[in-house]
Amino acid sequence: MNPIRILAIAAAVAGAALGAAGQDQPGGKKVRVGFAQIGAESDWRKANTESIKSEAAARGVDLKFSDAQQKQENQIKAIRAFVAQGVDVIAFSPVVETGWEPVLKECKRAGIPVILTDRAVDTQDPSLYVTFIGADFVEEGRRAANWVVKAVGSSANIAELQGTPGSAPAIDRKKGFEEVIKAHPGLKITKSQSGEFTRAKGKEVMESFLKSPEGKQINVLFAHNDDMALGAIQAIEEAGLKPGVDIKIVSIDAVRAAFEAMIAGKLNCTVECNPLLGPQLFDAVEAVMAKKELPRRIVTKESVFEQSGAAATIKDRKY
Amino acid sequence: MATDPRAERSGRGRALLAGAAHLIWPALALALLLAFNAAFTPGFFHVEIRDGRLYGTLVDILNHGSRLGIVALGMTLVIATSGVDLSVGAVMAIAGAVAATMVVRDAASFPAVLAGALATGLAAGLWNGWLVSRLRIQPIVATLVLMVAGRGIAQLVTDGLIITTNDPRLAFIAGGSLLGLPLPVTLAAAALALLALATRKSSLGLFLEAVGDNETASRYAGLDARGVVLLAYAVAGVCAALAGLIEVSYIRAADANNAGLFVELDAILAVVIGGTALTGGRFYLVGSLLGALFIQTLTKTMYMKDVSADVASIPKAIVVILVCLLQSPVVRGRIAARRRPP
């Protein structure tokens, strides 16, 4: 028994070593992908994780998944671990935009291609990653602003709940939104503060907005994600106002809870940010393994949902 | 040994005075911050009555400050034993997850939900206390275990989802009010009264300070040092669980990933601002509550002054450094020496 077992283990180890060394093995060997997820900070992220895991299982990819609990240092550690394990492709959603160059250079030196999903990194060196798959956050901001222009006209006092400071969606959604409302001098952002993408902070910050001297004039709320809007809705109700009526609310993501709020008439509009990136991610992985050229930017398909269609759409929402 | 009752009384009076003297610094810091807002933040002190309860920024500060204050009260006892509990934020998340899951999935009775959440905190506290007192693992390492693993446990409980509940009784914990003030204020006051009674009207406070000053000496003096340490962590766990319940009630949802995130740092800071030294020994419960209110006021000031979240940590850090300098006996001595004529 024992010698055979040792032989088997030796063969397995050798096989693994070969698999790690050879990039273009023709079939048979499983592709090994390391994915460094941000965390599970929202229902959106949970759906994103599910999509990646289930797609990996469906395609027989050996997925090494790591949860960074919203901390950049954890993500960097995870990526270093993937490099040490010699995976074929590394993919990750960077929690913030900056500070990635050293670890991405380590990946490059190890010859491991990197795919960014959902969020971009701020780098001068385009060779550090192959492609960036994800939503166009600037466009999402524009869509939210377009809805405001359509729904409330050319005059409003807008409160903005920003995402985590320094994160790509917070920066870009703000940029896109401001780009559109600049053309309408009557639309003013009177209050803007970070709610860190969470319900609790969204509620706490909205409480402060409503109690500020400008608070009584606020008639539109733009939240960078649904969770903050859901927290803010509670703050608005506790201040004795009607969310969705006294203050019109538009947010981004289109998670199930947002549809429930729209059906209850408390949220007016949500701009979709599609988390189901799994299929597109592994299409890209396969293209990388086959040494095919990939576009630098792969944009996901997304739409805008309003109250009127919410009841009909909620049945099809997976997250 | 005959004791002179007069001597004992004056001794106790002096101890009380010493405690009050320590409270001057956090109270002064809070007063200065409030004075700044009175002068420069319009609407900061505006309080009105809406729906039969007080409504205003000060009320919000009391409300959120109470939640942090409850965590800080438990932390004070742990720090008094010269320990530290890094897991309080994670314990908040676990207790909240347990409460929300019991309400939503099991439709449990409300007393059972309360008991379940608080028992979770107690279990977490006993685990920490056991690691520290019996296995003699350094507190910072022992509680780090649960700080990291705790969020995972909370995620397991909630299945990684944000569990939303509209149970009116659960919502009452943070949303209800007593005498016009939010219920968390009453809960914090009750926790303070209970802990102050337990530590000052019995010898427990003395035991905590003795263990914190010198554990070996206290053990030779016949004290059950291990039991005292275990108790301190258990209380911290229960306090964190109570804060976790308030958090769930506040957003009417259990957010395993974000509930109580980085609360341990704020709680430790509140205790330090309150005058309790991290080296253990003397502790000041009221000081910790004042510290929590100070931190909450500072956060609120940043919101009200529209300080962008990108840079908000800088003024916060400066103010915290100033408060710590104010408390340093060395700095205070130097200022006093300069003022005195040569």
Q: Could you give the ipTM of this predicted complex? A: 0.86
Q: Distance (Å, rounded) from C-alpha A51 to C-alpha A171?
A: 25
**pLDDT at A260 exceeding the cut of 90:** yes
Exposure string for A193-225, b = 16+ CB within 10 A, e = fewer: bbbbbbbbbbbbbbbbbbbbebbeebbbbbbbb
Vertex B325 angle, CA B319 and B331, to 5°: 150
What string of pLDDT tens digits covers the 342 residues of chain B? 444 444 444 555 555 555 677 788 889 989 999 999 999 888 888 888 887 788 899 999 999 999 999 999 999 999 999 999 999 999 999 999 999 999 998 888 999 999 999 999 999 999 999 999 999 999 999 999 999 999 999 989 998 788 998 888 999 999 888 888 899 999 999 999 999 999 999 999 999 999 999 999 999 999 999 999 999 999 999 999 999 999 999 999 999 888 998 899 999 999 999 989 888 899 999 999 999 999 999 999 998 888 887 788 888 788 888 877 877 778 878 888 877 665
A190 CA to chain B: closest CA distance, Å? 10
Q: Distance (Å, rounded) from C-alpha B196 to C-alpha A15?
A: 65
Residue of A nearest to B300 (CA): A208
Share of chain B above pLDDT 90, in %: 63
* DSSP assigned state of A247: B
Spatial neighbors of A86 by CB under 8 A, at least 6 apart, are A20, A21, A32, A110, A112
Residue of A nearest to B47 (CA): A211
Residues on chain A touching B258 (C-beta within 8 angstroms): 41, 196, 198-201
What mean pLDDT value characterizes chain B?
Answer: 89
Burial label, B143 (beta-carbon count in 10 A; 0-12, 13-18, 19+): buried
Alpha-helix runs per DSSP H in chain B: 5-40, 57-80, 88-104, 110-133, 139-158, 168-175, 183-200, 204-213, 215-220, 225-251, 263-273, 285-304, 313-327, 329-339
Residues on chain A touching B303 (C-beta within 8 angstroms): 193, 204-205, 208
Q: What are phi and psi of A223, to 5 degrees?
A: -110, 135
Return the residue matching tokens 């108790």: B231
Residue range A241-262: mean pLDDT, rounded = 94
User: Across the interface, which of B46, B258, B303 has its CB nearest the CB of A198?
Assistant: B258
Q: Do A211 and B46 touch (CB under 8 A)?
A: yes
**Structure-block tokens of residue A73:** 């240092």
Residue A15: predicted pLDDT: 44
Q: Do A208 and B151 touch (CB under 8 A)?
A: no
Residue B17: predicted pLDDT: 56
B131 CA to chain A: closest CA distance, Å? 25
Tell me the domains of chain A and their CATH numbers: 27-134+275-300 (3.40.50.2300), 137-273 (3.40.50.2300)
Spatial neighbors of B331 by CB under 8 A, at least 6 apart, are B325
Q: Do B60 and A199 touch (CB under 8 A)?
A: no
Q: Distance (Å, rounded) from C-alpha B74 to C-alpha A304?
A: 47
Q: Do B160 and A40 touch (CB under 8 A)?
A: yes
Residues on chain B touching A194 (C-beta within 8 angstroms): 308-310
User: Across the interface, which of B42, B51, B162 has its CB nearest the CB of A240?
Assistant: B51
Return the residue matching tokens 């320590």: B22
Tell me the domains of chain B and their CATH numbers: 53-306 (1.10.3470)
| Measured CA distances, A247 to A211, A234, A235, B339 (Å) | 14, 12, 12, 56
**Structure-block tokens of residue A66:** 């790591």
* Chain B interface with A: residues with Cβ < 8 Å: 42-43, 46, 50-51, 55-57, 60, 64, 151, 155, 160-162, 164, 175, 247, 250-253, 255-259, 261, 300, 303-304, 306, 308-310
Query: Which of A45, A70, A77, A212 has the most B C-beta neighbours within 10 Å, making it the best mutation to test the interface with B?
Result: A212
Q: Distance (Å, rounded) from C-alpha B303 to C-alpha B37?
A: 12
